[in-house]
Structures are given as structure tokens and as C-alpha cells.
Amino acid sequence: MNEFLPVSKADMQQRGWDGYDFLVITGDAYVDHPSFGPAIISRVLEAEGYRVAILAQPDWRRAEAFTALGRPRLGVLISGGNIDSMVAHYTAAKKRRHDDAYSPGNRAGLRPDRATIVYANKVREAFGDIPVVIGGLEASLRRFAHYDYWEDKVRRSILFDSQADLLVYGMGETATREIAGRLASGTPVGEITDVRGTCFAAKDPSLCAYPKVECPSYEQVCTDKRAYAKANQIQYEEHDPIRGKAILQRHGDRLLIVNPPAMPLTTQELDFVAELPYVREPHPMYDSMGGVPAIEEVRFSVTHNRGCFGACNFCSLAFHQGRIISSRSHESVIREVTALTKHPGFKGYIHDVGGPTANFRRPACKKQMKAGVCRNRACLAPTPCPNLDADHTDYLMLLRKVRQVPGVKKVFIRSGIRFDFLQKDTNGEFFAELVKYHVSGQLKVAPEHCVNGVLNYMGKPHIEVYERFKQKYERLNQKYGKEQYLVPYLMSSHPGCTMADAVHLAEWLNRTGRQPEQVQDFYPTPGTLSTCMYYTGIDPRTMKPVYVPRDPHEKAMQRALMQWKRPEKRALVREALRVAHREDLIGYGKECLLRPSTGGPARQQGKGKTPPGRKSAGLPQAGHTRQKPVKKAGWAVAKPKKNARPKKKK
């Protein structure tokens, strides 16, 4: 049976250790599973022969808590956890969350805000001059000067606030292994400046070992939003392991030097990492606290790939894992599934064979592995690239093999399916088998919106693509006698979404018979292109202005429009329809969203049709945002033409 890594001095004594090499600190509970970044890094270092100890969710109020396992010989590695600590603590409305699935007993408050910074500063207080390396999603997405939604200001690179020596960004196995080797050989941490996938601070730009480009400084992006947008675009363009350059960004009298990304792991390397001796469970010290809820989603799931060329603008994946796909071998996945069938809690169901996007098994095109990803072209949106290789054969063969493993009853796909990519595959076998074998009652996909102008800002395919997918999905379910549903993920208040667009989304939902139970308000998380739009009001891809719904009340109305049937939302929906000059949707027609208020005249206006005078008044048709917007209590509506009169009916 595999053993957990030491979490106390008693554990080290039991192993016969008189000391250890690396201390790994994490803001999550200690879960020894390959879905948890700190567990992967710890096991990679262990496989290299280093002694590694884990300090999970230490009491950040006391420096003594960080010395509980003694001083490590080589250094301290710090991760805020699987997600950004501010996202873990706050909703999109900046309200404090009451639970935390990555903590024992689902208990909130066991890590600090800005966990990476707090932990790193406490390590300095506890150990003084010791090599400190930060990594994980929180550090990765905050590696440059970045807009912080919770403080509503631009913060400098997390490397400076944390006082760390090095920052590892992206998937850090290769960089961490190289850093560890150099520290073990006696190289001072200040001389480790040429490792791909890392950042460091310097005063001399000649310390950069790669071809380089400089983006606007911290001071510039704090005061000039166009400079911020320009910097953001440079950072995205150069985030490529094949053609990307190092990026320099000045912070006062120092330089942030961000080396090019590490190369994606090969299939053999990814197999090796996936099959390290994980226990695949939370540490038993949490049993009496109710366990760690986050394990339930992944305990019987298998990750077969990394990277995502979907490149949605609001998603951090492209800026963290990158756009080049790497995948595991069939044999490795089958070995993992076979091992899962021997788990005492296994009931025959593999919950997922997926990853960031489940149906990506290879780079988007052959050119990517030689020339890198295209600078100014997305692979899928708004339309697929002609060079796209949309062959699902390899993934289909893998799923067929997993279904044949003894003890496996069902194999589901619960991570995202990119439906536009699926439809580019001219061979319909994968779509057919997806419907026949791999849907657990509901298939969740992410059209996100229905207005093509908004979808362009999101980096998503146009709504017609989703509607064609939906029609074929329904036909296949009917063909195979399945009662399976399609659940669309939708987002309100994304940059570019006016109140007219939000009303159009509600009309589309009404017309298609959908009433989503859960909706997502746009959340400006660090580092994404959409967050850049939110902060600057500029699309960094074009440097053109974009409307941004920032007012909390407007955002509440946009969100309410997606759930207009709920009684508690009616007042907000009514107000939103009036703001958008869409009172035609208050009535008794089948396309109306609300009935008239009690006590007022019962209007049967238009039965859902566009009312007379709407076009002549210059009001925007749904999705139309070309006219100059005028702000009304913080909301975007189109500016009516002067002295406009309704046209007479013929």
C-alpha cells in the first residue's frame, strides 16, 4: 500500500529520517491525488530521490507553525492551492463564501486571503535566508502586474509581494525538477535564472538568457489602461513554448524577468507523472473532521490530457497550461482504471475520462509542434481554423478500451466537451457513442450566451453552432431511445454584454424552453483577456473600446433575466425590461417574460412581437451594440434618436 508523505516529525522519525530536503506548503488540505498540484510536485521530487514533507494549511498567524517540521535542507515550495485563494473565499459579488471544498469538513477560513504571499512572508520570518519558490495557479496567473478585482486596483507581480526567489508558472514538473537539481548541487538560488517556466527579479536585463521583449511597466499599467491592454496582449502572444520570447516588465528599479514557458510533457513523461505512487485519498488526519469534499469529484475520474486550444477569453487555462495538447498513452490510462476497480468504494462507474477539455487528444494542427500556436488566430472561435485536425478516433479507441476493463459498468464524460470541435469531425462515430455510452443523464456544455457579438468577446463559437449541436444531440437520443438532457452553461455580465443583449438571452431561453437553475456572473479572475476587458474597457486583441457592465445593480438585473420565472427575481426583471425599453415583453403573449403588475391595466401588447416604433426610435435590436451607448444609472442602452415618432401601420 502506498504511503502518505510525512506531515509531522513523528512521520519522519517513523521513516528513519534525521532531516528532509524540501518543505511543500499548500493552502489546500493534503490530498495525495494527481488532481492536486502540490501532490504531483511532491511525488515528482520524491521520485528524484529527495526527502519531501508536507505542511498543509498551516496557521498563518504564527511563524512557529511553519517550523513544526524543522528547517528543510534545500528549500521551501509554496502553493496557494488548486484555485486562487481569493476565488476560494469570495463570490463574484465579493461576498464571503461559507464553505471550502478543498478544506476538511468543507470548512471555510483555514487559509488566508492571498495565501501564497502570506505563507511566503511567514517562511521568511521563520527561516530567514532560505530558497523560497512559489508556484500553483495563484502564482502562475499573478506572475505579471495584474488587475485585482477584490481591491479594484492593479497589483505588482506576486513575486515581489511574496519575497520569493523564484516563481514557477504553468505545469511545473520540469521546472521544479531542474531547480531542485541545481539547489542540490550547491548552486545559489540567485544564480538560477535560465529555467524555462520560471520568473525571477533582477536589475540587469542581461541576466535574461533568452530572446526577449519588454512590455509596459508596472507603473505604466497602473495609470494607463491602454498600456495595461497592450501589456496583456504581449503576455498572451508570447505564452508559447516554441516561438515565445522572455518578457521583461519593470517594477520600479527592478525588472521582472519571465522566461519562456516550459515545453509540454511528452506522452511518456505524462504517463510517468500520472502513475507515481499516489495514495489517491485525503490524509487520514482529516477523517474525524469530515474528510475533504473535493476528492469526491475526482476519486474515480481519470485525466488523460493537458492544455486547451479552446482559449475562451474568460478562462485561465490558456495562460496556465497553454494551448498545446499533451496526452497520456492508452496503456497508462487503462492501468489507472484497472487500479480504480480494486478500490473498496468503487461501484463500477468511471465518472470521467477527461481533462481541461475532454475531447482534445492531440495538438490542434500539425504545425503547432513545429511553429507554435498562431499569434493572432484562435483555433476554434469565432470559426474553426481551416488547419484544424478534428479527428476523434484516438479518444474513441481509448473510451472503448476503458469500457472493456473488467469491473467497469459505465464510463461517463463529465468534463467539458467542446461541441464546435466535435461537429468539425466528419466521422460521426464519436458523437454516436458519446450519446449511447458516456452521458450520465445530462450532458453539460458551454454555449455561454446567444448573442454573437458577446460570444466574440468571450472567444466562443456563434450560437448557430450550438443550436446545430443541440438538434443532432436530440436526434441521436431519439435514435438510441435515450432520455438524456443537454444542460447549457450560461454567463451574465461579460464584457460586451449590454442590457439589450441580456434581454435577448432571456428571450432565447424562453423560446427554447430553458430555465437554468444555476447561472454564472462573470468573475474577473487574474490574468485573463476578459479581465483585461473588464478593467480597461478595451479589447486587447483589437485595442477598441468595449462596453463593460460593472454596476452591481445592473449585474444583478442581467443575472435575474436568465431566471425570470423565479418570483423573487420579478422586480429586477421588470426593471431590466424597462431600462432596455422592452416593455413589449410584459404581457400575455407566449414570448412575454412577465405578466403586467396587479392593479395596473392588463396590456396584451404585441404577443411577443416587436412593438410599433421600436426600430424607428433607434433602440438596439438584440445583440446590436454599434450605436453609441448612453449610460443610464450605470447601464448601457442605445441612445434614442431625437423627435422619433412611431411609423404608422399600413
Nearest CA-CA partner of 493 in 397, 558, 411, 542: 558
Is position 308 annotated in a ligand binding site? Answer: yes
CB atoms within 10 A of CB 537: 16
In degrees, to the nearest 5, what angle opens at C-alpha 439 toward C-alphas 437 and 441?
125
Distance CA 542, CA 529 (A): 12
252: how many CB neighbours lie within 10 A of its CB?
A: 10
**Helices 37-47 & 267-274, crossing angle to 10 degrees?**
100
Site of grid cell 481569493: 86
What is d(CA 155, CA 218) in angstroms, rounded to the nearest whole number?
A: 8
Residue 355: what are its φ and ψ, rounded to 5°?
170, -155
Contact, 22 vs 153, CB < 8 A? no
Q: How far is CA 112 from CA 64, 142, 238, 641, in A?
A: 16, 17, 32, 53
Dihedral (Cα; 179, 265, 80, 53), 10-degree rounding:
-60
Does 315 appear as a known binding residue?
yes
Cis peptide preceding 58, ω within 30 of 0? no
Angle at 481 between CA 477 and CA 484, to 5 degrees: 45
* Angular region, 385: left φ>0, alpha ψ -120 to 50, beta rest: beta
Helices 393-403, 330-340: crossing angle, 10 deg rounding: 30
Type of residue at 495: P
C-alpha cell at 66: 511553519
Task: Write the DSSP symbol of residue 119.
Answer: H
Is the bond leading into 382 cis (omega within 30 degrees of zero)? yes
Q: Please give the helix or strand (H or E) that residue 250 lies within, else none.
A: strand 246-251
Whether residue 222 is annotated as binding a ligand: the answer is: no
Reading the block at residue 519, the C-alpha cell is 447561472
d(CA 257, CA 56): 30
Phi, psi of 198 (to 5 degrees): -130, 160
Binding residue ranges: 308, 312, 315
Binding residue ranges for [4Fe-4S] cluster: 308, 312, 315
